[in-house]
Amino acid sequence: MSYTRISRLLEILTLVQSRRGLKADALAEACGVDKRTIYRDFKALQDAGVPVRHDAASDGYTVEGDFFLPPVHLSMDEALALAVLCEDLVEDGRIPCLRAAIRALAKVRSQLPEDVRDDLDRLSRHIAIRTSNAEGDDGTRDVFQHVQQAIASGNALRCRYESSSDPGADESFLFEPYSLFFSVRAWYVVGFHHGRDQVRNLKLSRFVAVEQTGEPFSVPAGFDIDDHLGNAWRMIRGEDSHEVEIVFEAEFADNIAETTWHRTQSVDYLDDGRVVFRCTVDGLDEIVWWVLSMGPMCRVVKPRELAERVQELATKTAANYRGGE
């Protein structure tokens, strides 16, 4: 990111106020400049009357008092929740392409009273969130920014996209992005694909090339990502809707009942401890793999098509382990 002198000075102030004792090399890395530039910036801040002080013992910098930004009126619970979400889910890469959240957290920290900052630093080290590991943002950051800019400006993109299941998908096409969404491990964009003449869900990491075109478009009035996905098990919405009923063995019953697997689900316990899981799902391509992941702990009651697909795939899986090493 390129900084003007003023924006860099403000960034330095924000960082130093949010984390006391930051060293010049850490500030230089965060701002994309060398340490000599940081030293000159500190001199400029001091000349302007900003009480920046260098601590010889820690070799770090602090801003004395409550200079510059007034405290934000956040409770400890609110500040802690923000810190844990940003540091565990964004800074650790579990949800990539949201580095701006870390910068925002630094600004929030800088405005908190000193005693609250101390408590926040202490408590946040003892709370962690562990989710599925996501793809890194190295290959998607530029695509994410292009898509975000296209949505904001209302200008279509010229794209190339690779897909092993769709030969010819890497041909150049015009794309009108409607919405970015993160699902489980990766970022996706939903929008109108002129090459296929339909609305498609595309994975950001599979874009080969993206460029702005300046060709205007409008997101359809009332477009909503939840309405678009409908009752898909996760994100692939099939054409047909299915009433699903699955019986889970007693050993697995609590695990099923205590988790929200789908927004339409209902769970009923049977007298013998088993549970009946029911939901309405659009398409079977995704839910079939979820059922298979439960192994022998469940049996599909309906629809028959789902039961047959599970049986076929389970038989093929078992065949991989028969008669050979």
Q: Domain map of the chain by residue range? A: 5-63, 76-124, 141-229, 241-319
Beta-ladder partners of 242: 281
The pLDDT, as a whole number, for residue 165 is: 64
Maximum CA extent, the chain: 81
pTM as predicted = 0.68
User: pLDDT 10s digit of each residue in the chain, 325 long?
Assistant: 344 677 788 888 888 877 778 899 989 888 888 899 999 888 888 887 888 888 888 888 888 776 655 555 677 788 888 888 888 887 777 788 887 888 888 878 877 777 778 888 888 888 888 777 666 666 788 999 999 999 999 999 999 998 766 655 568 999 999 999 998 788 999 999 999 999 999 999 999 999 999 999 999 998 999 999 999 999 889 999 999 999 999 999 999 999 999 999 999 999 999 999 999 999 999 999 999 999 999 999 999 999 999 999 999 999 998 876 5
The pLDDT, as a whole number, for residue 2 is: 41
Amino acid 155 reads: N
CATH of domain 5-63: 1.10.10.10
Rounded-to-integer distance, Cα 272 and Cα 135, Å: 42
CATH of domain 141-229: 2.30.30
Q: How far is CA 145 from CA 97, 150, 163, 169, in A?
A: 8, 8, 21, 22
The architecture (CATH level 2) of 241-319 comes to 2-Layer Sandwich (3.30)
Position of tokens 């950001």? Answer: 204
The pLDDT, as a whole number, for residue 1 is: 36
Q: 214: burial class by Cβ within 10 Å (0-12, 13-18, 19+)?
A: exposed
Position of tokens 């088993």? Answer: 274
Rounded-to-integer distance, Cα 108 and Cα 112, Å: 7
Query: Helices marked H in 19-140 — which ranges?
Result: 24-31, 35-47, 76-84, 100-111, 114-124
The pLDDT, as a whole number, for residue 141 is: 86
DSSP 297: G
Position of tokens 């924000």? Answer: 14
